[in-house]
């Protein structure tokens, strides 16, 4: 994953071919071969090298890897209407390109999940077309978007991140943000035949009510999971608050007689261990935790001289600038996230009679902070996997590769 410009992360594959084998080794040919097996948004840019650059110590010199060139363009297809022309201009603006034609693929040109959210937001604002990020994954060209699916759904509880067939799905439950889009990058690293679904916070979608209890929230999750997969065995993963929900969903399914074959918690801890310092109310601290996840970096409350309200104001502005959401949607995101955290804080877990995988962020830990062993009263056994990162960075490039390495062999077992 490269980030040659701020907030413009791109998946890149560097290939050193075996010159003794006769194949078309051009980047375009290699991308076509990968495209036959992967969705377009998972296909990397390809750079063919004679050899990989190495440091003096013989390790890969990542800084010396060249940036990919833009893929070759075919003859442009003419826009058939002012709306198509305007949509092409929006594609180009979001991608930072001089022009895009109606048949250009958003992901082939370097698009990714965050840019997809920005593009969908710009299309809704500029053209009043209700295009979802899911629609963009399905039809990633300007012409395809106008001719194809234009339904909503970015904020529904069930979010298909990668529908597939042949294996049992993995259900990834939202962190405090309420959004499950952050799991898309992890999904790209998992076996392609495994479907991946996100579960988002109830109350985000237009007209949806916020749940009044943790039990109600868990029931809604179970209903959505069983709508996709009526019978077990089930596979669940959750980061932060999502880990508490995943554990609750797993115990609810087990009490109903269903098998849960995989339960993975990503730097999640029972609510009784959550720290609530004196400098803020629990609601303020829950919002602080949510906002630091949105901006994907830790913040020291002491940096604002103990003025927690001003810290929250600054974080809200930073998060609002980072997310392509209107004011009403952003305010709802905060309300739903704080509500979910408040409900979880009052919940005491049931015991799950199975093995739990715990991916533990090891950076930024304090002596008084929670530890994975806090789950021991609530699980049959615990397997720990350290991640060399902070809590906010667990889905960054290197940590998610570590998680994928652990999860992939478990996910390719079994069929639907």
Please tell me the predicted confidence (pLDDT) of residue 176: 87
69 part of a folded domain: no
152 part of a folded domain: no
Q: Are 139 and 179 in contact (CB under 8 A)?
A: no
**Residue 5: phi, psi to the nearest 5?**
-130, 150
One domain, residues 230 and 91: no
One domain, residues 299 and 375: yes
> Cα angle at 164 between 120 and 185, to 5 degrees?
50
How far, in Å, CA of 17 to CA of 290, rounded? 45
One domain, residues 190 and 252: yes
CA atoms within 13 A on the CB side of 381: 4
- Listed as ranges, residues in the chain with pLDDT below 50 are 7-8, 75, 149-152
How far, in Å, CA of 33 to CA of 149, rounded? 26
Question: Considering 94, 113, 147, which residue would you say is the last residue of a domain?
Answer: 147
One domain, residues 266 and 322: yes
Please tell me the predicted confidence (pLDDT) of residue 26: 66
The pair of structure tokens assigned to 208 is 């949806």
How far, in Å, CA of 37 to CA of 45, rounded? 15
How far, in Å, CA of 44 to CA of 17, rounded? 17
Contacts of residue 304, defined as CB under 8 A and 6 or more positions apart, other chains included, come to: 310, 311, 314
How far, in Å, CA of 268 to CA of 384, rounded? 12
Looking at residue 255, which CATH number applies to its domain?
3.40.50.1820
Strand-pair category, 196-199 with 158-162: antiparallel
In terms of Cβ atoms closer than 10 Å to its own Cβ (0-12, 13-18, 19+), residue 198 is: buried
Q: Are 1 and 397 in contact (CB under 8 A)?
A: yes
Q: Where are the alpha helices (DSSP H) in 75-162?
A: 82-95, 113-127, 133-138, 142-147
**Residue 136: phi, psi to the nearest 5?**
-65, -35
Please tell me the predicted confidence (pLDDT) of residue 320: 81
How far, in Å, CA of 369 to CA of 384, rounded? 16
How far, in Å, CA of 178 to CA of 245, rounded? 11
pLDDT per residue as tens digits for the range 60-115: 887 888 877 655 555 455 566 667 787 888 898 888 888 888 888 887 787 877 78
How far, in Å, CA of 205 to CA of 180, rounded? 13
One domain, residues 133 and 183: no
261 part of a folded domain: yes
Q: Are 338 and 283 in contact (CB under 8 A)?
A: yes
Please tell me the predicted confidence (pLDDT) of residue 150: 40
One domain, residues 102 and 178: no
Looking at the 3D structure of the chain, how many domains does it have?
3
Looking at residue 56, which CATH number applies to its domain?
3.30.300.30
Please tell me the predicted confidence (pLDDT) of residue 170: 96
Looking at residue 117, which CATH number applies to its domain?
1.10.1200.10
One domain, residues 339 and 268: yes
How far, in Å, CA of 359 to CA of 266, rounded? 5
**14-44: string of b/e by CB count within 10 Å (b at 16+)?**
beeeeeeeeeeeebeebbeeeeeeebbbbbb
What DSSP character marks residue 60? Answer: B
Count of other CB atoms within 10 angstroms of residue 202? 22
Q: Are 210 and 338 in contact (CB under 8 A)?
A: no
pLDDT per residue as tens digits for the range 316-373: 888 887 676 778 888 888 999 999 999 998 999 999 999 999 999 999 888 878 899 9
Please tell me the predicted confidence (pLDDT) of residue 151: 43
396 part of a folded domain: yes
Q: Is 15 helix (H, G, I), strand (E, B) or coil?
A: strand
Please tell me the predicted confidence (pLDDT) of residue 79: 60
Q: Are 55 and 61 in contact (CB under 8 A)?
A: yes
Domain range enclosing 49: 2-64
One domain, residues 348 and 283: yes
One domain, residues 252 and 271: yes
254 part of a folded domain: yes
Please tell me the predicted confidence (pLDDT) of residue 386: 96
One domain, residues 329 and 390: yes
């Amino acid at each position: 994953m490269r980030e040659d410009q701020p907030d413009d992360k791109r998946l890149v594959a560097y290939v050193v071919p075996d010159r003794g084998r006769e194949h078309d080794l051009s980047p375009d040919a290699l991308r076509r071969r990968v495209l036959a097996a992967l969705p377009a948004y998972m296909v990397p840019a390809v750079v063919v090298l004679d050899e990989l650059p190495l440091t003096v110590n013989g390790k890969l010199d990542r800084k010396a890897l060249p940036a990919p060139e833009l893929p070759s363009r075919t003859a442009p297809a003419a826009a058939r209407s002012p709306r198509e022309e305007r949509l092409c201009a929006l594609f180009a603006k979001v991608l930072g390109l001089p022009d895009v034609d109606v048949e250009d693929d958003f992901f082939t040109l370097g698009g990714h999940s965050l840019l997809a959210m920005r593009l969908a937001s710009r299309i809704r604002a500029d053209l009043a077309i209700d295009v979802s990020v899911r629609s963009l994954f399905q039809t990633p060209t300007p012409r395809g978007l106008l001719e194809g699916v234009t339904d909503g759904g970015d904020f529904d509880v069930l979010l298909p991140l990668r529908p597939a067939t042949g294996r049992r799905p993995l259900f990834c439950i939202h962190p405090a943000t309420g959004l499950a889009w952050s799991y898309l990058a992890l999904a790209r690293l998992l076996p392609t035949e495994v479907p991946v679904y996100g579960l988002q916070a109830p109350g985000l979608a237009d007209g949806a009510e916020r749940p009044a209890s943790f039990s109600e929230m868990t029931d809604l999750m179970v209903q959505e999971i069983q709508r996709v997969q009526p019978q077990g065995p089930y596979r669940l993963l959750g980061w932060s608050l999502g880990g508490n929900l995943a554990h609750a969903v797993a115990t609810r399914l087990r009490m109903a007689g269903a098998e849960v074959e995989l339960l993975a918690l990503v730097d999640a801890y029972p609510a009784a261990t959550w720290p609530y310092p004196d400098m803020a109310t629990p609601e303020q601290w829950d919002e602080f935790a949510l906002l630091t996840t949105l901006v994907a970096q830790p913040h020291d409350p002491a940096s604002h001289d103990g003025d927690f309200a001003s810290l929250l104001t600054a974080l809200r502005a930073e998060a609002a600038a980072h997310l392509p959401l209107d004011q009403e949607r952003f305010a709802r995101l905060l309300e739903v996230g704080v509500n979910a955290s408040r409900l979880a804080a009052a919940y005491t877990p049931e015991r799950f009679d199975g093995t739990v995988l715990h991916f533990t962020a090891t950076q930024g830990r304090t002596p008084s902070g929670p530890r994975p062993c806090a789950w021991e009263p609530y699980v049959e056994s615990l397997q720990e996997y350290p991640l060399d990162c902070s809590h906010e960075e667990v889905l960054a490039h290197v940590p998610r590769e570590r998680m994928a390495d652990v999860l992939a062999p478990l996910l390719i077992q079994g069929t639907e």
